[in-house]
Amino acid sequence: MSNLSVDERIALIKSITENGGEFIGEDELEKVLTSGEQLYTYDGFEPSGQMHIAQGIIRAINVNKMIDAGFTFRMWVADWFGYLNNKMGGDLEKIKTVGRYFVEIWKASGMNLDKTEFLWTSDFVGQRWYWELVMKIAKAVTLKRALRTTAIMGRTESDDLSAGQIFYPCMQIADIFGVMNAQVTQLGLDQQKVNVLAREIGEELGYWKPVIVSHGMLQGLQKPEDKKRTVISTNNFMAQELIYKGSKASIVVQGREENCITLSFVNTKQDVLRTEDVSTEKSIKYFDLQITLHTNGELEILENTPERMISMKMSKSKPDTAIFMTDTSEEVQRKIMKAYCPEGIIDDNPVLDYCKQIIFNAHYLKRENPLLKDGVFEIKRKPEFGGDITFASYQVLEKAYADKQVYPLDLKNTVIEYLNALLQPVRDHFENNAEAKALLEQVRSFQVSR
């Protein structure tokens, strides 16, 4: 049981969604927390090559938050999912080896293992009830609806998918209800579509509507692709005019004044989800859209397309886009020094993203010594360059960077130091534990496949 109040537990869970994530079913969470039932949540990973820092450190942070909120966390080592998705060339034995390596990393990452259970897909796929449930789910889902979840596999609807990959979302929904008994799903934002599908069909199948807590994705270290840009003249807008049609919501003009335009966001059922006033030279964000009204009367819509979001993610087949949990200190330094980090720019800046999502959240890890002494982020500089400077919160650091009070080299050097401190216990584990060391050598010898 958690020692926190219900409100504190809800706030802690909600904090997982702060960095670009999303909370669906928030109004249902209090009932879940006060139900008196044993509480379960889960996340799953395809074992596919070396583990990057989001799967290791951020996963440990979020696991610990959910445990502090009163849940048992079930970690799903999704070996058969990796097989369906052709990871490690579709070699199931290699995939299982990588899965064992994953577990060894989590043991050393600072994850609260007292309330974490590790489950393997391979322990369930031979059971008749499991496939009966998968078939029931497959009957309840249209092919078109299943294809819309392909982002969960790191794919798009236009990819050349195998018939086996169509089972992937059906199996994932079966895991939620039949294996995990998860009242709350706590996965990455890229997994949201299949969790929403589970909410839509859960009660129809005699189960429940799981609450969805999606954490944002840690950005890859590479320069991101440009967002899809749509520019619309507002000079002749009419009320109730549809000006944008997207996958999650369409935009309808409700009214216009001299320096302001009123927009409504409408779903496919024509329900108004939200209404916002957009003032001149001010931006608002809604789902994956950033909307700005310029002084020349143009409305600019920047959209994070699924393809762009996939391209921004870390890629195991492109090692310089990510820090891996067993990277040497020299590799960490080289990768961060090469990382995209333009002076004064905070949007889509991966080095700042590492600060926000990892370094300032590291106090949730179970470690002997905290990463940030007294909770303070310290940049060490020579006196001629302004001397040492400290930041008590990420927001203060971000503002200083935007104001060019902190320069890219200062930030990078500090992030390198903190990341190496975070990763050293993992390196020590793989150096001193013979079984873990052998697993790492095997994994490093495998060819990673997309």
Per-residue pLDDT at 12 exceeds 90 = yes
List the beta bridge partners of residue 252. 242, 264
Query: 57-66, 93-102, 285-294, 307-316: which has the minimum mean pLDDT?
Result: 307-316
* Amino acid 6: pLDDT: 96
* Amino acid 270: pLDDT: 77
Residues 448 and 47 sit within 8 Å (Cβ to Cβ): no
pTM of the model: 0.81
* Amino acid 312: pLDDT: 60
Rounded to the nearest 5°, which phi and psi values hold at 397? -60, -45
For residue 447, what are the contacts with CB-CB under 8 A and spacing of at least 6? 88, 89
* Amino acid 147: pLDDT: 79
Render pLDDT for 261-317 as a digit per residue (tens, 0 to 9).
898 888 777 788 888 899 988 888 776 788 998 888 888 888 876 555 555 666 666
Domains of the chain by start residue, with CATH: 6-214 (3.40.50.620), 228-303 (no CATH), 315-445 (1.10.240.10)
* Amino acid 447: pLDDT: 64
Run of H or E residues at 386: none
Render pLDDT for 331-368 as a digit per residue (tens, 0 to 9).
999 999 999 999 999 988 999 999 999 999 999 999 98
d(CA 415, CA 309): 24
Render pLDDT for 311-340 as a digit per residue (tens, 0 to 9).
566 666 677 889 999 999 999 999 999 999
